[in-house]
Structure 1
Amino acid sequence: MNNLSIKLKRKINRYLRKLFSSAFEDTLEVKELKEELKSYIITEVSDLVESGKSEEEAFEIAKNNIGNNSDFEEGISGIFNNTKYLFILKSSYVCVLIYIIIQLLVRLKIIGLIDISNYNIRILSKFSFIVFIIGTIIFFIWTFMNFIFTSRTIKFKIQAIVINILNIFISMLWVMASKGVVNVFRVEKIYYIALFLDMIMYFFIYSKKVFKFK
């Protein structure tokens, strides 16, 4: 690669970053495949440049040759297979966003910044909780399917389990408070702490993954 221009080196690195941006997790297998592809492209481009091709032509030929290599094709397709249940995660994500928006409206009403009747607030609160429950169930299904049908790292599994536990805990607090089993004011701080942790984990881990897939 030392014989190649700095511009082409950067172009190769950008190409690989873009190609592997579809990897849901940065696993050892992904890193190894990325290094193999990088080495393959460098070798191909160097050979083609020595045979008289320009760097641009050589790079385009090397990229096209990747698709004809069965080993690389299988490895790359495996990366994209990790996204096959992404539509379930997106559905859960939408539910959580709806829940947050409605809860913000409720809080704005409580502090007097917007004018909504108490009746409508109660309806919105119940609706937001139903949406949250639906999102929780969908996320649980997504976690279960990934555990069973897709190879995931220990880190991924721990993150998903923690979020599921927080979702269930938040739902239980909401149900107990609404039925009068626990005092609303006593659990309010616990509820918002749990919700804050849940949202931070959920959005920090999955936001980029949800928006970058097509």
Structure 2
Amino acid sequence: MRRSLPLLIILGLVVILLFWGCGSYNGLVTQDETVKNAWNKVQSDYQRRADLIPNLVRTVQGEANFERGTLNDVINARAKATSTQISPDNLTPENIERFQQAQAQLSGSLSRLLVTVEQYPNLRANDAFRNLQAQLEGTENRIKVSRNDFNDAVQTYNTKVRTFPTNIFAGMFGFHPRTGFQADPGSQNAPRVEFPDQQTQRPSVNFSDTATKR
């Protein structure tokens, strides 16, 4: 009996270690899936914004002499943003940055479009435009919430990955810290808005029907 006691102790420790390891692994998987789900919601909200833009552009095109360059910037930025989709299994810092830059470019183009619209009373009074503007504002709020939720999920995941002794299993099974959203470059500075000269003749807009298709 005395000879078997050390063996029983060793077997007991192995069983405890096995159960603890399984619990740690399952916890890491759960947090990893939470991050992926949060990322899918981020992309879904950004896609919702992109889906509103074609109707917005078509509505603005109905205003005579609306700035061609402003619309082109929005259309091109939307095309780049919609083509920059990142798989939740490939959330590297480089991919997160690339996605964020593309979406920030679209945000800037939309902001310039909405500022320019202030020079067109007919557009500001257009019910269709005002409805689209309200939907865009609501979508921007949803994007902000989903980005914050994603960053919270990343923080919880990273804490688990880096905390001892779970970090031992994390390294063994390929769980590594992830990167969340950073503040957009220049977001700490107030934007400078310069309205165009209202006396300047603006070029007409003549887009093809395919310009706003995805």
Fold match, TM over 0.5? Answer: no
Q: TM-score w.r.t. structure 1 length?
A: 0.36
Structure with bigger gyration radius: 2
Relative to the length of structure 2, the TM-score reads 0.36
